[in-house]
Chains A and B, each alone.
Chain A
Amino acid sequence: KAGVTQTPRYLIKTRGQQVTLSCSPISGHRSVSWYQQTPGQGLQFLFEYFSETQRNKGNFPGRFSGRQFSNSRSEMNVSTLELGDSALYLCASSAGPNSGNTIYFGEGSWLTVV
Chain B
Amino acid sequence: AQSVTQLDSHVSVSEGTPVLLRCNYSSSYSPSLFWYVQHPNKGLQLLLKYTSAATLVKGINGFEAEFKKSETSFHLTKPSAHMSDAAEYFCVVSGNYGGATNKLIFGTGTLLAVQP
Q: Which of A42, A98, A101, A106 contacts B43 (CB 8 A)?
A: A106
Q: Interface extent on A, as a size class?
A: 20 to 34
Main DSSP-derived SS at the B contact region: loop
In the complex, which residues of chain A have a beta carbon less than 8 angstroms from the beta carbon of B36? Answer: 105
Q: Which of B32, B42, B104, B105 contacts A100 (CB 8 A)?
A: B32
Q: Which of B42, B43, B99 contacts A99 (CB 8 A)?
A: B99
Known: A99-B95, A107-B43. A55 touches B100 (CB 8 A): yes
Closest chain B residue to A110, Cβ basis: B41
A-B residue pairs, 4 tightest by C-beta: A99-B94, A43-B106, A100-B51, A105-B44
Known: A48-B103, A99-B32. A104 touches B46 (CB 8 A): yes
Q: Interface extent on B, as a size class?
A: 20 to 34
Known: A99-B32, A99-B96, A100-B32. A48 touches B101 (CB 8 A): yes
**When chains A and B are docked, how far (Å) is the Cα of A2 from the Cα of B79?**
32
CB–CB A105/B45 < 8 A:
yes
CB–CB A90/B44 < 8 A:
yes
Closest chain B residue to A46, Cβ basis: B103
Q: How far in angstroms is the closest Cβ of chain B from A35?
A: 8
CB–CB A103/B46 < 8 A:
yes
Q: Which of A31, A43, A44, A90 contacts B102 (CB 8 A)?
A: A31
